[in-house]
Amino acid sequence: MKREQWGTRAGFILAAVGSAIGLGNIWRFPYMAYENGGGAFFIPYLFAMLTAGIPFMIMEFSLGHKLRGAAPRAFSKLGVKLEWLGWFQVFIAAVIAVYYVAVIGWAISYMGFAFTQSWGADTNAFFFSEYLKLGDNAPSKLGSLQLHIAIPMVIAWCITFAAIFTGVKGGIERASKIMMPLLFIMVLALIARVIFLEGAMDGLNYLFRPDFTKILDAKVWSAAYGQIFFTLSVGFAIMIAYSSYLPEKSDISNNAFMTVLINCGFSIVAGILIFSVLGYMAQEQSKPLTDVVSAGVGLAFVTIPAAINLLPAPYILGPVFFLALVVAGLSSHISILEAVTSAVMDKLNWSRKKASTVVCGSGFVISMAFATNGGLLLLDLVDYFINNVALLTSCLIELLVIGWLLKVSDIRAYVNKISEFSIGIWFEICIRFISPIMLAIILGKNLINTVD
Ligand code: PHE
Ligand code: NA
Exposure string over 85-118, b if 16+ CB within 10 A, otherwise e: bbbbbbbbbbbbbbbbbbbbbbbbbbbebbeebe
Does the interface ipTM go beyond 0.90?
yes
The residue whose C-alpha atom lies closest to atom 9 belonging to ligand 1 is: 233
Among 267, 332, 340, 388, which residue has the most ligand 1 atoms within 8 Å of its CB, making it the best to mutate? 332
CB-based pocket (< 6 A), ligand 1 = 19-20, 22-25, 96, 230-231, 233, 236, 332, 335-336
Residue pair 231/29 in contact by the 8 Å Cβ criterion: yes
The residue whose C-alpha atom lies closest to atom 7 belonging to ligand 1 is: 233
The low-confidence residues of the chain, meaning pLDDT below 50, are none
The values of phi and psi at residue 180, to 5°, are -65, -50
Distance 297 CA to ligand 1 centre (A): 15
CA distance 281 to 112: 22
At 387 the pLDDT is 80
CA distance 311 to 237: 41
At 386 the pLDDT is 84
Q: What pTM does this model have?
A: 0.96
Q: What is the maximum alpha-carbon separation in the chain?
A: 64
Distance 70 CA to ligand 2 centre (A): 21
At 452 the pLDDT is 73
pLDDT in tens, 371-388: 988 778 888 888 888 888
351's enclosing H/E stretch is none
Atom of ligand 1 nearest to the CA of 20: 1
Residue pair 267/25 in contact by the 8 Å Cβ criterion: yes
Distance 92 CA to ligand 2 centre (A): 17
**C-alpha atoms less than 13 angstroms from C-alpha of 264 in its C-beta half-sphere:** 21
Atom of ligand 1 nearest to the CA of 25: 4
At 143 the pLDDT is 72
Residue 443, Cα to own-chain centre: how many angstroms?
19
At 315 the pLDDT is 98
At 421 the pLDDT is 86
CA distance 110 to 127: 10
Kindly list the structural domains of the chain, giving each domain's residue range(s) and its CATH number in brackets, ordered by start: 9-451 (1.10.4160)
Q: Which of 56, 106, 89 is nearest to 296 (CA)?
A: 106
Distance 390 CA to ligand 1 centre (A): 14
Alpha-helical runs (H) found in 209-251: 218-231, 238-243
Cα dist from 450 to 35, 93, 231, 375, 384, whole Å: 21, 22, 22, 21, 9
The answer for residues whose C-beta is within 8 angstroms of residue 122's C-beta and 6 or more apart is: none
